[in-house]
Amino acid sequence: MDFKNITVAGSGVLGSQIAFQTAFHGYNVSVYDINDEALEKAKKRLNGLKDVYAEYFKDEEKASAALKRFTFSSNLKDAVKDADLLIESVPEIVEIKTNFYKELATVAPEKTVFASNSSTMLPSQFAEYTGRPEKFLALHFANEVWKNNTAEVMGHSGTDKQYEEQLIEFARTIGMIPLHILKEQPGYILNSLLVPLLNAGQTLLAKGVADPETIDKTWMLATGAPMGPFAILDVVGLQTAYNIVSNEAKHNPAAQPIADLLKNEYLDKGKTGKGSGEGFYKYPNPAYLDPAFLKA
């Protein structure tokens, strides 16, 4: 792997974090977004991330040096002209990603490997538009990249394995823990495990089997996990949980009572999770963090 120049396309929440993490580890990073206004926002985000990295890693000098490694462009051909690797982090909307790859295919140098950071879409959905399906795969990051270091590497059936190996190595060089997914899987590893756990917890609650604290306590005591499903839901945010479950309810009536419960008992009362100060628990000192929680 001899990547030097990385292009990050889409400089929103995750794109700006991926760009900063990559520059922080010494790569030149070309930031692409749709127009100058979006690029101005990106500059503000990256400046904010400089402070976050300086504080988190206690290294102001290294964080400031990262800021000098960025270039910005709203012209895709220009943004990608030297790219060894392009990481796509544009909105999670099929048409936007499809059109993006169609254009990218016509302007990117032959050497450029394309990686998608999509959370819910599969590389096989876009491979045909890339003009280089063998050099196209997913490289999926988690929000707050600097401390949540997962990098899920997942090809589609037509990805050449050598590029999976290259991305695994690249991920390591930017301080991530590469997690190699051997076969295309919606939700990667994390959400394939987490979503069923969260659903199961909510189903127990909606059926009246137990309250959130008892359900979390059971999971924590029996497995040694630091959080149960309801503590995790508070971090995810109850609006997101509601969106997922209401979608599910369209074809699975069993999900409707969960959606109703989230709406009536929590969202309508302003309890949207950790971000608002209250969800299933009250913050900043939720009961599950009290050492007495697992003793009573």
- Which active-site residues does the annotation give? 119, 140, 152, 191
Cα angle value 119/124/129 (rounded, 5°) = 105
Size of the chain in residues: 296
CB burial class (10 A; 0-12, 13-18, 19+) of residue 193? exposed
CB of 144 to ligand NAD, least distance (A): 8
130: helix, strand or coil:
coil
CB of 126 to ligand NAD, least distance (A): 11
User: Which is nearer to ligand NAD, 151 or 215 (by Cβ)?
Assistant: 151
User: Which is nearer to ligand NAD, 12 or 175 (by Cβ)?
Assistant: 12
In angstroms, the CA 98 to CA 218 distance is 44
CB of 117 to ligand NAD, least distance (A): 4
Tell me the DSSP string of 95-110: HHHHHHHHHHHHHS-T
User: Which is nearer to ligand NAD, 60 or 78 (by Cβ)?
Assistant: 78
What residue is closest to ligand NAD based on CB?
Answer: 12
User: Which is nearer to ligand NAD, 91 or 277 (by Cβ)?
Assistant: 91
CB of 272 to ligand NAD, least distance (A): 16
- Mutual orientation of helices 60-67 and 36-57 as an angle, nearest 10°? 160
Q: Which has the closest alpha carbon to 194: 155, 229, 143, 148? A: 229
Q: Which has the closest alpha carbon to 140: 191, 72, 195, 202? A: 191
> Which residues make up the interface to ligand NAD (CB under 6 A)?
9-15, 33-34, 38, 89-92, 96, 100, 117-119, 141, 143
